[in-house]
């Protein structure tokens, strides 16, 4: 493409077209993406909030696609970002670049099969499904209750939808109803399906071959890579946004589980196709054994559990051979569903029994499903190295990739470090915000270190003082649901009607966030999904309170297994796993405060270890460079002044309907323009006058799928608080022996040594 427009001119058109101004960080990032594509190397690029990073990768991606005639693939972790790219960024970018490129860039969204309506199933191609009869028109009426009504709605929608994409359905339907009209990849009949020619999934994937940018999610991209890149079109540039989430998403994708309920459901699916009596018995036996197994990680499979799993595996193998079709014609929808269900039981039982070196196995209690046996890989680093970073350039980007001031921790988790690792570069393009003058990082050093009994009375007093000074406007980020609820209840009691306090779980999180964003005096307290996904710019959020350093739970099976493995190899398991996890969460949580160039406020840490602990420097270096202090009076004064001079909160848009293309009807009014940029870390500019505030579309990331048992951190491991664990870690680092520590903690030595082993810590040997 000799006369192709340059990257700089395309970026200029794109930025102008979306009504922004050029930003040095954005330009640097776009150039680095292009250089990565040309050199075939990989790139880790940290771009702070306000950089405009999506344009910085979309413009070189489009340019590359035009050059090579193949699409570039963009993978996001959250639906919120996926919607932003497909509904807002790409349409604006395509409009802005059409003239220079000679045609409008094309783009498409590609997702897993379960996200689309299955025409074959809707037409009765899976007659023996669980809810047989509900799909028959004559049998569904209002009396069938909510499920029946939902299926009626789905049938009507199925007649008119052009894409069959579940996200178009507003309001949505229950998972149970959706399963009646969709199939998994394993259940799909593929080329044997009588409706494959008009299948929504097949049409969407065929259309994606003909576009310039394909947008997808981390899990789908990962499965596509692991299975030999069959589902996404051929590409040589992959951009992974929200890259800090990739390891967790991939781990969730390849986490398997087995429950007695799953086995009986598989047997039910088989129905008259085979004899499942032995499988049902084996499932019941497994259920009895699991009842007697305590929650937590299993280091070595107990004999009775191994026996139960062997029975399940063997019975499933027997059913597999019974229901194998004797000819392709015999493999109808019902048989395919049954085979998929039995295959899953067999595969998962077999995987646990194989006792693979890197697999971690644990039991968790689910209030609905009872005891669940789970298995997940301890590390996905080598898998990512082999399958994701193959013969294509991969650009990984996020606002938080550097932890403790370096890319090393994340690069290690991604499989980029060590012998034989692929070539990569790291780049921090900074942030256009002037963090030191926009925000204060306050550590309440006078408070006692957080203990096992939840938020201390002194910490509750501190929350009250801070919130009163801020006039509400507070996002409270807690490390456990129990602490968030207790603090919310106590503050409601203290504030009365003066300052409303919402708590996650009171209503849908998105509704709570809208209430919080719409009223200056309202506060919102909550946990995990608020740490990462809340985007409330303006004066509604001028104080973010973080109750304690968010270390992984001491009994988190994956974290403890990783920590121990690193310790065994001579590394520091605590720093590599727990401190890295905490640093990432803290950076994400603190990042909720400053969303625009004129946002001002305070992040308050109620955990003195942010200053006193030996790892404090590592955590501090992972945060945006806010102005640090532990001066309480100064902070209270600053909050009061900010409250007195605060502009009105930004108007909040109500949720929009989605059109048939998956785009939101109001895509062009979604989030208010990002602020103009300056050189990273340059002295504070006068904030550019911002346009009349547009209604802000608030997005909340879904709660990340938890792979750990649902145990409150403080309830874990009776008798060992997070504080005790901290002392153990400090002791390990200082070279204390188990005996010395036993004296210090007034506990038996073998208990101390056992707990240290659980945490992956190596204590010095006691003198003989």
Binding stretches for ligand SF4 (CB under 6 A): 113, 118-121, 183, 188-189, 193, 195-196, 199, 201-202
**What is the nearest approach in angstroms of ligand SF4 to the Cβ of residue 627?**
55
Which residue matches tokens 């968790």?
A: 364
Q: How far is the CB of 88 from ligand SF4 (least distance, A)?
A: 29
Query: Residue 266: which residues within 8 A CB-CB, separation 6 or more?
Result: 276, 279, 316, 319, 338, 341, 342, 344, 345
Tokens matching residue 23: 């930003």
Give Cβ neighbours of residue 346 (< 8 Å, ≥ 6 apart). 313, 316, 317, 320
- As measured in angstroms, the least distance from the Cβ of 210 to ligand SF4 is 19
Q: Which is nearer to ligand SF4, 196 or 307 (CB)?
A: 196
> Helix (H, G, I), strand (E, B), or coil: what is residue 80?
helix
Buried b (16+ CB within 10 A) or exposed e, 260-284: bebbbebbebbeebbebebbbebbe
Cβ proximity to ligand SF4: between 178 and 618 the closer is 178
Q: Which of 85, 5, 38, 52 is nearest to 395 (CA)?
A: 38
Beta strand residue intervals within 399-449, DSSP E: 424-428, 439-443
Residue 185: its H or E element: none
> By C-beta, is 112 or 739 nearer to ligand SF4?
112
Q: Taking the complex as a whole, how short is the minimal distance between the CB of residue 183 and ligand SF4, in angstroms?
A: 5
- Shortest distance in whole angstroms from residue 135 CB to ligand SF4: 14
Give the nearer residue to ligand SF4 in terms of CB position, either 184 or 365.
184
Residue among 193 and 376 whose Cβ is closer to ligand SF4: 193
Least CB distance from residue 167 to ligand SF4, whole Å? 17
Closest CA to 340 of 316, 361, 363: 316
Angular region, 343: left φ>0, alpha ψ -120 to 50, beta rest: alpha
Q: Which of residues 344 and 598 has its CB atom nearest to ligand SF4 in the complex? A: 344
Kindly tell me which of 182 and 620 has the beta carbon lying closer to ligand SF4: 182
Least CB distance to ligand SF4 at residue 162 (A): 15
| Residue 187 C-beta: closest distance to ligand SF4, Å | 7
**Three-state SS for 442?**
strand
User: Least separation, in Å, of the C-beta of 721 and ligand SF4?
Assistant: 51
User: Would you say 195 or 265 has its CB closer to ligand SF4?
Assistant: 195
Distance between CA atoms of 73 and 80, rounded to whole angstroms?
Answer: 17
CB of 160 to ligand SF4, least distance (A): 17
Angle at 208 between CA 122 and CA 533, to 5 degrees: 85
Of residues 169 and 196, the one with the C-beta less far from ligand SF4: 196
32 vs 323 by CB, closer to ligand SF4: 323
Cα–Cα distance between 541 and 368 in angstroms, integer?
36
**Which residues have a Cβ under 8 Å from the Cβ of 210 and sit 6 or more positions away?**
106
Smallest distance, ligand SF4 to C-beta of residue 200, A: 7
Distance of alpha carbon 129 from alpha carbon 327, whole angstroms = 21
- Of the pair 196, 762, the CB lying nearest ligand SF4 is at 196
Q: What is the 3 state secondary structure string of 199-215?
A: CHHHHHHHHHCCCCEEE
């Amino acid at each position: 493409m000799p006369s192709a427009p340059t990257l700089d001119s395309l970026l200029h058109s794109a930025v102008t077209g979306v009504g922004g101004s050029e930003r040095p960080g954005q330009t640097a990032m776009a150039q680095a993406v292009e250089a990565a594509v040309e050199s075939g190397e990989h790139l880790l690029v940290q771009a702070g909030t306000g950089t405009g990073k999506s344009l910085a990768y979309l413009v070189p991606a489009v340019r590359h696609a035009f050059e090579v005639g193949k699409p570039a693939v963009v993978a996001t972790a959250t639906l919120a970002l996926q919607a932003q790219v497909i509904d807002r960024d790409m349409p604006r970018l395509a409009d802005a670049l059409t003239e220079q490129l000679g045609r409008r860039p094309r783009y498409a969204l590609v997702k897993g099969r379960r996200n689309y309506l299955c025409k074959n199933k809707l037409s009765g191609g899976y007659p023996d499904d669980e809810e047989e009869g509900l799909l028959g028109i004559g049998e569904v009426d209002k009396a069938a209750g909510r499920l029946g009504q939902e299926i009626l709605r789905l049938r009507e929608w199925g007649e008119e939808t052009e894409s069959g994409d579940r996200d178009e359905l507003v309001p949505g339907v229950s998972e149970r109803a959706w399963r009646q009209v969709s199939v998994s990849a394993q259940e799909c009949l593929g080329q044997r399906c009588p409706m494959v020619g008009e299948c929504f999934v097949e049409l969407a994937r065929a259309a994606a071959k003909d576009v310039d940018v394909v947008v997808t999610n981390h899990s789908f991209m990962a499965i596509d890579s692991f299975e030999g890149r069959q589902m996404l079109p051929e590409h040589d540039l992959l951009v992974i946004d929200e890259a800090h989430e990739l390891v967790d998403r991939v781990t969730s994708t390849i986490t398997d589980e087995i429950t007695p309920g799953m086995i009986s459901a598989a047997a039910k699916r088989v129905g008259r196709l085979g004899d499942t009596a032995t499988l049902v018995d084996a499932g019941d036996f497994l259920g009895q054994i699991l009842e007697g197994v305590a929650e937590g990680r299993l280091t070595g499979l107990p004999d009775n559990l191994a026996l139960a799993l062997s029975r399940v595996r063997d019975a499933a193998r027997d059913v597999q051979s019974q229901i194998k079709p004797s000819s392709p014609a015999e493999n109808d929808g019902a048989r395919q569903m049954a085979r998929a269900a039995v295959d899953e039981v067999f595969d998962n039982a077999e995987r646990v029994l194989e006792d693979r070196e890197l697999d971690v196995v644990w039991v968790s209690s689910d209030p609905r499903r009872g005891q669940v046996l789970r298995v997940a890989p301890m590390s996905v680093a080598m898998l990512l190295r082999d399958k994701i970073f193959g013969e294509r350039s991969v650009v990984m980007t996020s606002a938080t990739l550097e932890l403790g001031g370096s890319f090393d921790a994340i690069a290690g988790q991604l499989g980029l470090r060590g012998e034989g690792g692929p070539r990569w570069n790291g780049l921090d393009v900074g942030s256009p915000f002037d963090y030191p003058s926009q925000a204060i990082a306050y550590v309440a050093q006078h408070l006692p270190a957080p203990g096992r009994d939840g938020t201390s009375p002194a910490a509750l007093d501190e929350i009250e003082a801070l919130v009163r000074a801020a006039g509400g406007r507070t996002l409270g980020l807690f490390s456990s649901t129990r602490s968030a609820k207790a603090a919310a209840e106590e503050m409601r009691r203290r504030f009365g009607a003066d300052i409303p306090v919402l708590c996650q779980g009171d209503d849908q999180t998105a509704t709570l966030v809208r209430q919080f964003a719409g009223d200056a005096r309202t506060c919102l307290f909550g946990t995990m999904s608020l740490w990462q996904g809340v985007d409330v710019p303006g004066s509604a959020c001028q104080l973010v309170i973080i109750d304690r350093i968010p270390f992984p739970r001491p009994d988190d099976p994956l974290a403890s297994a990783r920590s121990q493995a690193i310790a065994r190899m001579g590394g520091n398991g605590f720093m590599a796993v727990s401190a890295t996890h905490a640093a990432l969460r803290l950076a994400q949580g603190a990042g909720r405060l400053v969303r625009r160039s004129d946002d001002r406020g305070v992040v308050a840490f109620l955990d003195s270890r942010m200053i006193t602990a030996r790892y404090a420097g590592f955590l501090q270096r992972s945060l945006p460079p806010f102005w640090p202090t532990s001066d309480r009076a100064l902070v209270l004064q600053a909050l009061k002044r900010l409250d007195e001079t605060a502009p009105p909160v930004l108007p909040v848009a109500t949720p929009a309907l989605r059109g048939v293309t998956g785009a939101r009807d109001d895509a062009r009014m979604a989030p208010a323009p990002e602020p103009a940029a300056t050189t990273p870390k340059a002295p504070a500019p006068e904030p550019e006058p911002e346009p009349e505030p547009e209604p802000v579309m608030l997005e909340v990331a879904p709660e990340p799928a938890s792979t750990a048992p649902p145990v409150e951190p403080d309830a874990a491991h009776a008798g060992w608080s997070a504080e005790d664990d901290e002392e153990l870690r400090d002791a390990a680092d200082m070279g204390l022996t188990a005996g010395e520590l036993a004296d210090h903690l007034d506990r038996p030595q073998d208990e101390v040594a056992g707990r240290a082993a659980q945490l992956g810590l190596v204590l010095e040997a006691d003198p003989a």
